[in-house]
Amino acid sequence: MFTLAEVASLNDIQPTYRILKPWWDVFMDYLAVVMLMVAIFAGTMQLTKDQVVCLPVLQSTVNSKAQPGTSGKADFTTVETTTGQGEDTSMRTVSFGSAPTVTPDVPLSGATSSQYQPTESGQELKKEQKDSLGRKTNLDFQQYVFINQMCYHLALPWYSKYFPYLVLIHTIILIVSSNFWFKYPKTCSKIEHFVSILGKCFESPWTTKALSETACEDSEENKQRLTGAQSLPKYVSTSSDEGSPSASTPMITKSGFKFSADKPMIEVPSVTILDKKDGEQAKALFEKVRKFRAHVEDSDLIYKLYVGQTVIKTVKFIFILCYTANFVNTISFEHICNPKVEHLIGYTQFECTHNMAYMLKKLLISYISLICVYGFICLYTLFWLFRIPLKEYSFEKVREESSFSDIPDVKNDFAFLLHMVDQYDQLYSKRFGVFLSEVSENKLREISLNHEWTFEKLRQHVSRNAQDKQELHLFMLSGVPDAVFDLTDLDVLKLELIPEAKIPPKISQMTNLQELHLYHCPAKVEQTAFSFLRDHLRCLHVKFTDVAEIPAWVYLLKNLRELYLIGNLNSENNKMIGLESLRELRHLKILHVKSNLTKIPPNITDVAPHLTKLVIHNDGTKLVVLNSLKKMTNVAELELQNCELERIPHAIFSLSNLQELDLKSNSIRTIEEIISFQHLKRLTCLKLWHNKIVNIPSSITHIKNLESLYLSNNKLESLPAAVFSLQKLRCLDVSYNSIALIPVEVGLLQNLQHFHITGNKVDVLPKQLFKCVKLRTLSLGQNCITSIPDNVSQLVQLTHLELKGNCLDRLPATLGQCQLLRKSGLVVEDHLFDALPSEVKEVLNQDTSIPFANGI
């Protein structure tokens, strides 16, 4: 036999699951335990004391009752014995006649043997007959045991015999039905995850920090809470490693709560520091809640299973009540038994008594009462399930009471679980809602960020850039730390991959800030901060994926001088900028666009009157429409790089103020249109490098004012004499072509300072080259040169000489006469340098500080 504890274990659940047990489920669990006790008590009584006692109904007694002439006195013999279930047996025979006499208890064996065994003396026989008064049944002990067992199974109703087992089975079914949603694998995992997250949210210091604002708003409620908590001990958080908090340290001042299965205890408000560990745990909770919500809101399995098990319990209650009520009256103390074993016993009818009848009847009535209460609670549960839509949960009350008005409503299983928790304690849902709010999450990030990025740490990340400006680069943070705006001497601020960047009014302290970089960072700016940026910001870099990510306030920076846009600006999105977008940029001088344009956006003409430099770097997309360039009459520098241009655009020839043109990395094959550059009187720099140009037309001589010509990385095989007629040319770069000969006319370029012809097929250097006495840089590397003339000494201003990668056997000793040339500026193989005379090497090794001569 099993114990009550073993059966009651079916009703056990994890203690943390109790928050999902409303009062009716708890009450039904207790009722189930009581019903278990009834079943086990009845079963124990039945196994130990249940018995039936039967006596034969004598024929003479029946006949005497049936004959009217009789005196009305009936003789009745009573034999009392136990069923085979008892250990000790005894029998009492009572005879009722004209002079009824009750005999003492005499063993059955003695009574029966006296009829058949001869006595040794007549006196003993006479005494025996005197003691055995009453009706003789002629039944021995085994026959009584046999008939009692027969009648126990034939005369007793089946419900009297199996009542304890039926109660036990029904109760186990009800217990299993009540807790099946906690055990079913597909719901158990979700419930376990939910309870785990709910407990962590309840205990999280961030919940206390977030809800403290609500408590501060309602001072009256706060007073009541403090009054009620005066008798409780104070709780001071020890989660922080720091000692006394400073004024700038984020604080938590709110009543703390302990998560447990019982009702939470309210504690006295305490001052705590949300340290890094607590902050990271809170961030992880936000992510867990977000993923759990996405997972659970997709289905309503938990809700359906709970409704299903409640319906099963209700149907079970109706079934038990219907068939049990019919068997109440069948439990009786007296029963008539006709076992049909006359050939074994000699009697056809027996009258039996059931000693457990009254007890079973009382237990049955008690069980019916418990079942009725259980059933009414099931009906109430069904009423609650269908009275309101439990697959929808609104945080409207929490939104009204707290500062987090963005807490979303939830649905399906997520909503149902929150409804169940509300039946336990609504404070759980209120605290859980904090982790559904984006405002709360952003605030947590802000506090954690400021706690981690202090002023001292930010100061360590400040560096000097190439322009010798103080620069701070922040990468992949949750926001912009407040301490950034205390760096008042900062010149450049770079914010990269910070999606929740906010620029507060404190930026007005950064009086030196003139350059701002926003890389995938759609920063939000408050009005006061915008006013400061509008008046002080000079350079802005914006990197984006879609043009919609460009903050709207960018187009209103009236004092902006330089704007760099890097991102997708294809023709489909050009209209999103709008014709009026750039009109407010009245002082914009430089516009740099790195994108995938197919045409120059028309709205760029809004800044055409004052734009002096336009740079367009395409990603290889062919730029086909360039008519807008004609309106940019004041542009002095124009770069069209990687635009798949095949010819020089005609629109460029209208830019009368153009001084520098860069057409790098295109597909230009011919530059016959170069003759039209004669109208560009101010053009001084022409960059046609990284193209597919085969030859240089003689019309290049018409560009009289050209000072720099870049033709590297093309397919040139020769240099026409016309190039050397450009008397103002100071820089000529024809590196990485297929040029085999340097014309002698190179000596005509008396103003030439930089000559690059690296990576060609030159084998001889004309002496006229060394007449360009102003040369400062001469790059001759990776050619086929076999010797360097001695008159290289004429290049007295030479500071850089590249000779590496040729076929030289030696270097001329006259290199020592190049007064400004040093070893650091001489690019040559080590063995050639070592072969120089020692005095030459000594001159080249001198570490003399030479002032940098003016270049181009």
pLDDT band at 9 (very low <50, low <70, confident <90, very high): low
Domain ranges of the chain: 4-57+155-184+308-389, 456-545, 561-571+579-667, 688-848
Residue entry with tokens 């086990």: 40
Instruction: Dump strand ranges (E) for 80-135.
Output: 93-95, 101-102
Give, to the nearest 10 degrees, the angle between helix 185-203 and helix 426-433. 80
642 against 679, higher pLDDT: 642
Q: Comparing 130 with 430, which gets the higher pLDDT?
A: 430
Which residues contact residue 290 at a Cβ distance below 8 angstroms, ignoring those fewer than 6 apart?
Answer: none
Query: For residues 237 and 264, what is the distance between their CA atoms, to the nearest angstrom?
Result: 17
Residue 173 CB coordination number (10 Å): 15
Residue pair 589/614 in contact (Cβ under 8 Å)? The answer is no
Selection from 667, 664, 671 nearest residue 648 by Cα: 671
Which pLDDT score is estimated for 282?
Answer: 80
SS3 sequence of 189-203: HHHHHHHHHHHHHHH
Please tell me the class of the 4-57+155-184+308-389 domain: mainly alpha
Q: Is the dihedral of CA 7, 8, 10, 14 positive or negative?
A: negative
Q: What is the DSSP string of 2-15?
A: --HHHHHGGG---G
The SS3 of residue 404 is coil
Taking each continuous run of H as one helix and of E as one strand, the counts in the chain are 23, 29
Rounded CA separation 634/127 (Å): 153
pLDDT reading at 452 higher than 50 = yes
Q: What's the whole-number average pLDDT of the chain?
A: 79
- CA nearest neighbour of 780 among 794, 796, 797, 763: 763
Tokens of 15: 């203690």
Q: Is 688-848 the same fold as 4-57+155-184+308-389?
A: no
pLDDT score for 5: 59
Question: Nearest 5°: phi and psi at 576?
Answer: -70, -25
Is residue 429 pLDDT above 90, yes or no? no
Q: Which of 695, 691, 688, 679 is nearest to 709 (CA)?
A: 688
* Secondary structure of residue 252 in the 3-state scheme: strand
**Helix, strand or coil, per DSSP, at residue 683:** coil
What's the rounded mean pLDDT across residues 385-399? 87
pLDDT of residue 375: 92
CATH number of 561-571+579-667: 3.80.10.10
Residue 279 has pLDDT above 50, yes or no: yes
Counting Cβ atoms within 10 Å, is residue 686 exposed (0-12), middle (13-18) or buried (19+)?
buried
**Global pTM?**
0.64
Could you write out the DSSP letters of every residue in 825-852?
GEE--HHHHHTS-HHHHHHHT-----PP
The model's confidence at residue 3, banded by pLDDT at 50, 70 and 90, is low
* Contact call for residues 130 and 123 (beta carbons, < 8 A): no
CA–CA separation, 749 and 14 (whole Å): 93
The CATH architecture annotation of domain 456-545 reads Alpha-Beta Horseshoe (3.80)
What is the CATH code for 688-848? 3.80.10.10
Q: What is the pLDDT of residues 588-635, one digit of tens each?
A: 999 999 988 888 877 787 787 889 999 999 888 888 878 888 888 889
- Ramachandran region of residue 365, left (φ > 0), alpha (ψ -120 to 50) or beta? alpha
Whole-number pLDDT of residue 331: 83
Q: Which helix (H) or strand (E) holds 361?
A: helix 357-387
pLDDT at 7 over 70: no
pLDDT tens digits for range 694-705: 999 999 999 989
Q: Quote the radius of gyration of the chain (alpha carbons, Å).
A: 53
**pLDDT for 58-90, tens place per residue?**
765 444 444 443 333 333 333 333 333 333 333
Q: What is the pLDDT of residue 180?
A: 87
Residue 728: band (very low, low, confident or very high) from pLDDT cuts 50, 70, 90: very high
Confidence grade of residue 358 (pLDDT, cut at 50, 70, 90): confident
Longest dimension (CA), the chain: 175
Backbone angles phi, psi at 68, to 5 degrees: -75, -20
pLDDT the model gives residue 222: 43
Task: Name the 3-class secondary structure at 479.
Answer: coil
